[in-house]
Chains A and B, each alone.
Chain A
Amino acid sequence: MPEHTFRLNGEQVTVDVAGDVRLLWVLRDLLGVTGPKYGCGVSVCRACVSHVNGRAFTPCTVPVEQLEETDEVTTIEGLPATVGADLHPMQEAWLEHDVSQCGYCQPGQIMAAVALVRRVAEEGRAITEADLDGIRNICRCGTYNRIREAIRTGAARM
């Protein structure tokens, strides 16, 4: 079987698997990185949202063979290290607002939130209600209001 290599949470990893297997399954089933969750497999629920080169994406829709050797994949497990701390400010904000209920979607929510704040900052503006309305991640427990509050808190500290 072909080998595929990419960077995962700061380390080079190599997997031996068919190239069309989506990255979500490479992470979860082969590498044991279970922070990104399955909720639909078609990029709708966004429970698996992680970062590739600092941008949000859904690993359930990326064949592993499409990753370059230098592509940096960051999952929730690797998020704190991107700021050299035990927790990323967005995770701190999530704790402060006690956002999680069942917690299943929250890794994806946090990764989506961090990417949103970065993108908005690059555009040189502050987060708006419309930005928050535009987040597509589903939370079936309905933690949406606390997610909105936490993103504003986290954004202020990023």
Chain B
Amino acid sequence: MSRTAGPDASEPGAHPVGRRRFIGYVLAGTTLVTAAGLLPAAGAAAEEGARAADLTDVVDLNDVMTLAAEPTAYLIRVEVHDDGTVSFALPRAEVGQGITTSTAMLIAEEMDLPVDRVRVTLADARPELLFNQLTGGSNTTISTYTPVRVAAALARRRLLEAAAAELGTGIDGLTVRDGVVSDGSGRSRDFGSLAAAAASARTERAEVRLKAPGDFTVIGAPRGRVDALDAVTGRKKFAMDLDVPDALPTMVCRAPTINGTVGSVANLEEVARMPGVTDAGVVSTGVAVRAATFGQCIDAVRALDVSWEAGTVDGMSDDDVLRDLGRAEAPMLPRPPFSSTVDEKFTFHFRSNSALEPNCAIADVRPGSAEVWAGLKAPIVARGAIAARLGLPPGAVTVHVTESGGSFGRKLFFDAALEAAEASRLFGKPVKLMWHRADDTRQGRTQPMATSRVRISHIGDRVLRYDQRHTGVSTDLGHGFGDVITAMAAEIPGLDGTFAQVFFQLSQATSYDFGLGGRLLNEVGRGFNTGSMRNVYSPNVVCARELVVDRLARELGRDPYEFRRDHLKDERSRAVLDKVAEVGAWGREMPPDTAQGIAFMHEYKADCAVLVEIDCRRETVERPVRNGVAGPRVTKVVLAVDVGLAVNPLGLEAQMQGGVMDGIALALTSGLHLEDGHFLEASWDNYFYTRQWNVPPEFEVIVMPGTGEPGGAGELAVAPAQAAVACAYGRATGTMPTTFPVNHGEPSFEPVPTVPPVPAPPADGLDHVD
């Protein structure tokens, strides 16, 4: 694939009309409002609605998403206010990845305005945006980088023109600094005072030039998050913090097995009379209760006497799923004549993509209309589904996107929003609905179990084929990715197959020059609640690949780093690998039972290499941790990342750190145990996400200079981190780990009961103050 984009190469998501010249619109209004344009500049041959990029250039999932978003770029508006601030309603979800900050930076850069004068909010569901309101695939900055800057640059241009008119001068003599336009003689006007004069009575088309990257002062400079102060003072509002009148706490009593349904309830009226409880009734997912406090909801959920109907996977356990996957695995082709092979098969258990904020939503359903508040990455799809559930026309449903307390894929779906709408309709009252942590872990969506078989065929040092058969319980992509791919499939040559297969092929790069070969995804439909988890298929696919690359290198007597380096396809890939090897002192002597591991991955138009050191010594693995998993300790991480252009290096570093914490958990500690139709895990002391005692004390992130165009960052580090940890573990223990997490074996905790579905709240908090 081509990765030669320089600073002046065509930019995705808007229409270049020359070197950094684009079309935008000044929209009719009483204050200045601008948007990125669709049309190439006059003189260009393209017709209205034509796309900037050649569709045959589509090489990965991000190209598809960016192209899908492009036709509606002009609907995203920058608005200048008379107080000198600029607002922008971002049609994406902020889930912690930092896009409100990076977007404010893009606008500030093009307008020469302080970042703190840009207010980025999250847009309500806007159906007219079609495919341009889906947060996923690490695509936000890739798809909005140019349209947002075009709108901002046009706003600046209009403000300059308005100032020139007021000052009776030409715009060439004017300068802008911190939102103030000045001429050479001491006269100035601030943006706020120019906002009305710069407005247009009718919508006008205009050509605008973007800043040259060499002139950037905001883009590329490390900057703290715009919401950091709100976060550290407790003022940041998540869905459950909103004060919607009469939206009382609501919870659902759920079945003991996955997706079980209500048969009958023996004591509904009795429960409805419990202290604080206002309503109780059956919804499609269980029995909903509404009360003055969530504490009283929990009491009511625990008191309900429900006779449950079967779930969708009753009786199934891990081994049953594994057997089904074995049957579904596609066969390998015969190996090439005279070749040798390395061939391994790996098992990746179910994982929870629970965020710390559980599934939750507020709903106020009235006769003929509904209003919903939730953290949603696909709000247009959610709105349609809620309308369908309520039997309302979509236009009667308003969906507000709130700040999310994490996502990791969870917020692509809207399970709680649907449930809240249903409960609000049933009770005829607003509800603030939240899942208990036990619900979120046991009935919430998962990254499904998968196996991955990798075979590399070679003659001596020469690799002839790389084949991978990835087989999993099907990943539910029915939140908008599927719609994007369906819509684009007709236009883009070669896009066919199921959503999942297309998604899989588009998201998996062929990083190494390993000759011919193929990667195939087979999925089996089973009644699990699944969804994309951060980095989707890649953590498992890449982990399997990198482990087998390590094994092949060993069998050939080659160094794992040098072997990878020799087979990586381009300079940019080799550069990140070289960087971690150099900074991390690859190959240094390590004590027994400790080792280094190294891994590489390309995705989201970005490259990432990770070097880790792991300590698998017995005294470390068995160090005492109360109600937690100690296990091997990753003691050092060196990560090099090339995202092309890091809009905010500080935010990029944060995403890399978080991704590595996920990768460590996926390799070593985080898995769900399926037993008899339900998951055993019900809290964070069962489901072992990385905790402070698992955190690498040494962690270095190196942001490479890059090539000029932003790639995606939010998910990038997960796969290479999981792979590097797995490779290090294998080298430290002298084994080939084939099951993940490596501690899956016997659960190390006593599972809480499934009936009642949520545990009793402890009452001994004052005995444990510290």
* Interface of A toward B, CB cutoff 8 Å: 1, 17-18, 20-26, 28-30, 32, 34-45, 47, 52-53, 55-63, 66, 75-77, 80, 87, 91, 94-95, 98-107, 110, 115, 119, 129, 132-148
Contact partners of B225 in chain A: CB under 8 A:
98, 100-101
B45 lies within 8 A of chain A by Cβ: no
Q: Which residue of B lies closest to A76 (CB)?
A: B234
B292 lies within 8 A of chain A by Cβ: yes
Interface residues on B, range: 35 or more
Contact across chains for A100 and B232 when beta carbons are under 8 A apart: yes
Q: Which residue of A lies closest to B94 (CB)?
A: A102
Docked complex Cα distance between A94 and B404 (Å) = 20
Q: What is the distance, in angstroms, from B375's C-beta to the closest C-beta of chain A? A: 9
Contact partners of A137 in chain B: CB under 8 A:
692
B457 lies within 8 A of chain A by Cβ: no
7 residue pairs, one from A and one from B, having the closest CB atoms: A35-B234, A142-B661, A102-B96, A103-B231, A104-B405, A61-B765, A142-B658
Contact partners of B97 in chain A: CB under 8 A:
101
Contact across chains for B436 and A41 when beta carbons are under 8 A apart: yes
Q: Which residue of B lies closest to A96 (CB)?
A: B224
B202 lies within 8 A of chain A by Cβ: no
Q: A140-B354, A143-B654, A146-B654 are in contact. Are A41 and B234 (CB under 8 A)?
A: no
Contact across chains for B770 and A41 when beta carbons are under 8 A apart: no
Docked complex Cα distance between A75 and B437 (Å) = 22
Within 606-664 of B, Cβ neighbours of A (below 8 Å) are at: 627-628, 650-651, 654, 657-662
Contact across chains for A45 and B437 when beta carbons are under 8 A apart: yes
Docked complex Cα distance between A136 and B768 (Å) = 13
B516 lies within 8 A of chain A by Cβ: no
Contact across chains for A103 and B298 when beta carbons are under 8 A apart: no
Docked complex Cα distance between A41 and B231 (Å) = 21
Q: A36, A60, A87: which contacts B765 (Cβ < 8 A)?
A: A60
Contact across chains for B275 and A102 when beta carbons are under 8 A apart: no
Contact across chains for A143 and B765 when beta carbons are under 8 A apart: no
Contact partners of A136 in chain B: CB under 8 A:
628, 691-692
Q: A40-B683, A102-B355 are in contact. Are A87 and B691 (CB under 8 A)?
A: no
Contact across chains for A102 and B654 when beta carbons are under 8 A apart: no
Contact across chains for A43 and B434 when beta carbons are under 8 A apart: no
13 A-B pairs whose Cβ atoms sit less than 8 Å apart in the complex: A22-B295, A29-B249, A37-B357, A57-B765, A60-B765, A95-B228, A102-B403, A103-B230, A104-B355, A104-B357, A104-B406, A110-B232, A144-B692
Docked complex Cα distance between A15 and B265 (Å) = 33
Docked complex Cα distance between A36 and B693 (Å) = 23
Contact across chains for B357 and A43 when beta carbons are under 8 A apart: no
Contact partners of A115 in chain B: CB under 8 A:
770
Contact across chains for B662 and A142 when beta carbons are under 8 A apart: yes
Docked complex Cα distance between A67 and B408 (Å) = 38
Q: A101-B654, A134-B693, A144-B661 are in contact. Are A59 and B233 (CB under 8 A)?
A: no
Contact across chains for B237 and A34 when beta carbons are under 8 A apart: yes
Of the listed stretches B103-111, B238-246, B388-396, chain A binds B238-246
Contact across chains for B690 and A144 when beta carbons are under 8 A apart: yes
Contact partners of B763 in chain A: CB under 8 A:
20, 22, 61-63, 66
Most buried by A among B230, B240, B699, B765: B765
Contact across chains for A140 and B769 when beta carbons are under 8 A apart: no
Contact across chains for B658 and A135 when beta carbons are under 8 A apart: no
Contact partners of A39 in chain B: CB under 8 A:
356-358, 437, 684
Contact partners of B695 in chain A: CB under 8 A:
133, 144-145, 148
Q: What is the distance, in angstroms, from A81's C-beta to the closest C-beta of chain B? A: 12
Contact across chains for B294 and A38 when beta carbons are under 8 A apart: yes
Docked complex Cα distance between A20 and B763 (Å) = 8
Q: A41, A55, A80, A87: which contacts B437 (Cβ < 8 A)?
A: A41
Docked complex Cα distance between A144 and B762 (Å) = 27
